[in-house]
Homo-oligomer: A and B are copies of this chain.
Amino acid sequence: MGRTSDRKETLIQSAIELIGTRSYNAVGVQELCEHAGVKKGSFYHFFPSKRDLTLEALDLIWKNFKEETLEPVFNSDASAPEKFETLLRKSYEYQSSRKDCVGCMTGCGFGNLALELSTQDEEIRKKIEEIFCEWTKYLEGVIMQAVDEGVLSSETDPASTSQAIVAYIEGVFLLATTFNDPCIINRLGEGVLQLCISKKKAVDACSAG
C-alpha cells in the first residue's frame, strides 16, 4: 500500500475510470475500493461518501481538460475559427481513443453525470453547473477574439453565443455517445462555426453584394 496521498489519488482515478465508463449509480464504493486496491476503511478516511469522491473527480477532470485542452488551444496564436476546429479535432481524437480502449464511446463526463444526477443530487448538479459556467467563460474569450478579428459581427452577444456553443457541443457528444460513433463529432462539428458565424456571413454577403 502506497502513501496516503497516492491512495487518495488512486481512488479519484478509479472513480474517473469506472463511473466515467459506466455511470454513477452503476458503481459502488466496494468496486471502487477493489479497483483502486484500497481498503474500505481507507475510502471513508478520505471521503465521507461516493458523492464526495465524485465531486473531487469532477474537479480533477475539469482541471485536466482546462490544462491539457482548453488552455493550450485557446491561448495559442491561432484564429478563433481555428481554435474551435482544434478543440473539436482533439475531442474527436480523445473519444476515438476511448472507444478503441474500452470498446465504446464514453462521451462527456460532465454531461453524463449532469443528466444522470441533476434531479437527485443538488451538490453534484451545482458542481457541473459551475463547470459549464467556467467553460462558457473560456469560450466567451474566443467569441470576443472572433469579433476583434472581424469573423463575427460586433453585435454578437458573447455570453449567449458561448452558452449556445457549449449546448451544441454537449448535444453533439450526446448523439455521438448514443450512436457509439465518434465520427458524429467530426460531421456535426462544423455547426459550432455556423452558430458563430451566421451573422458575419450575412454581413459579409451584404458587403459583397
Contact = CB atoms under 8 A, between A and B. Distances in A.
Interface of A: 21-26, 102, 104-107, 111-112, 114-120, 125, 128-129, 132, 160, 163-164, 166-172, 174-175, 177-180, 184, 187-188, 191, 194-195, 197-199, 201-209
A118 B180 contact: yes
Copies of this chain: 2
A188 B174 contact: no
A174 B206 contact: no
Main SS at interface, chain A: helix
Contact of A203 (B105, B167, B205): B205
Contacts of A22: 119-120
A174 B205 contact: no
Nearest to A170: B171
Nearest to A128: B178
Given A104-B118, A125-B180, A199-B201, 20 more contacts: A22-B119, A23-B120, A102-B119, A111-B115, A111-B174, A115-B177, A116-B116, A132-B179, A163-B184, A164-B191, A167-B184, A167-B188, A168-B171, A170-B171, A170-B174, A171-B171, A194-B195, A198-B202, A202-B204, A206-B209
